[in-house]
Amino acid sequence: VLSTKDKAFYVEGIESEVVDTTGAGDAMLAAMLAAMEENMGKEESLEKALAFATLVVETPGTRTPEVEQLEEYMENAEVREV
């Protein structure tokens, strides 16, 4: 969920094989902030954040995930206004 003073957005989790949840929340926040710094819209920023966090939970330990699937995961993220 992303909430602003005017709107709220929700995105379902992306189906994945969870290996390790270490750092997933930190990664999601970092990706969200990086996307916003790149002037992405709120919805696209939320898609990127979820996609990156999904890659993190598929990666064992605290290793940096392979980001080849990032765009595909972003396409699968369905943000909706609530």
Sequence-distant (≥ 6) Cβ neighbours of residue 77 within 8 angstroms: 11, 12, 14, 46, 47, 50, 51
Cα(79)–Cα(27) distance, integer angstroms = 18
Q: Which of 12, 26, 38, 78 is catalytic?
A: 26
Cα(32)–Cα(47) distance, integer angstroms = 8
Verify whether residue 26 is a known catalytic residue.
yes
Catalytic residues: 26
